[in-house]
Structure 1
Amino acid sequence: AGAQGVSAGSVRKNPSRERTTPSASRSATASLSSSWIPIERRSQTQVATTLVATAAIAEVHRPSRAWLSQNASQLNLTHLKRLAPGEVVSTLEAWVKLEYHPGEDWMLDADVALISHPQPFDPAHTARALAALAALPGVSYRFPTFAALRLQKEGPDGYSYGQLSTMLRCLRHFGLALDRATLDAVGVHMGSLLLRMTPQEA
């Protein structure tokens, strides 16, 4: 089913979210050591890092929506394009973990940043970005179409089994279909990867 039936502004909860371990909490708390710096004076990397660290301990500490909104306001399109691809994706995932939707305008900026970022997004980043967008509905995203067209052009060879599985699930969520030749190539590649998996990986 497509995203049309989901109300804007909601965030889909991830039932498989792992519990935060004490070591993860300590690591995330250490990453928040720069939080004394006023939000408006932090660099885009500091803002993104703070959000990701906060999301890592969301089960034991949930910040206010006002605080989250302040952080979102410090990451516009220009800022997002200055972040590394992994930082952009991790920021999107942080919103999902924090169960906070930063608003339509912010997500439209993120959508543009994903498409026009000066650095290429590898298969892992692409799959993770699609999964995050699927959990942050309410916007007509263009990145899913961009990702589908790139997969059709470049083929599936650079993708892992899990990445392709996520890609197919998310593209279906957005109502997008790959052409027959690409679907056949994806099926063959996933079958080959599955045959090489160990019992633990399968």
Structure 2
Amino acid sequence: MQKNIQYKGIVIGGSAGSFSLVSKILSQIKDDFKYPIILCMHRLKHIRSGLVEGLNLKSNLPVVEPYDKQKIEGGKVYLAPSNYHMFVEFDATVSLSAEDVLNHSRPSIDYTFSSAATSFRNKMVGILLTGANKDGAQGIFEVHTKQGYTIVQDPNTCDVDTMTKSALQLFSPNQVLTPEEIVVFLNNL
């Protein structure tokens, strides 16, 4: 872990199997967690509700689907809305877009990671979780190239390891962690 860094955000991406894992992580994060969590999960585009409500039942932090140009604040979880790409802007706001799908996905984890890496640079933590396609691998690699701190879930603990293994083929992250270790890492920030 990079010492003495005031992080601007924690960005988490996941797909197949990530809902239960994200629920577990959010339920175990300290309720005084001071950083914003920007969460991009693949989701069904025709179902617009339920995910936020489900996460809020478990989370120690409030989970919201941000509106376009919403300011990112510490101690909140910002979930990419269904069927929208979510970008992080230089002024620490969220930008939403209905651009074409990327890697068969909208929201695209690659877009969220890449924009956060450009905006936050070395003041972010990127965490890539379980998933069934390679979306997210290139994005977390960009976090790495911009000196952000990178964590990839241990593929041996993934429901589907395509996403994490794709990332590990591109680069060596700062850490490869189990879900339990990810929680410990976040609570020690």
Asked if Structure 1 and Structure 2 have the same fold, meaning a TM-score greater than 0.5 normalized by the shorter chain, the answer is no
Q: Which has the larger radius of gyration?
A: 1
Q: Structure 1 or 2: larger helix share?
A: 1
Q: Structure 1 or 2: larger strand share?
A: 2
Indicate the TM-score class for this superposition, using the shorter chain for normalisation: 0.3 to 0.5
- Structure showing greater relative contact order (alpha-carbon pairs closer than 8 Å, 6 or more residues apart): 1
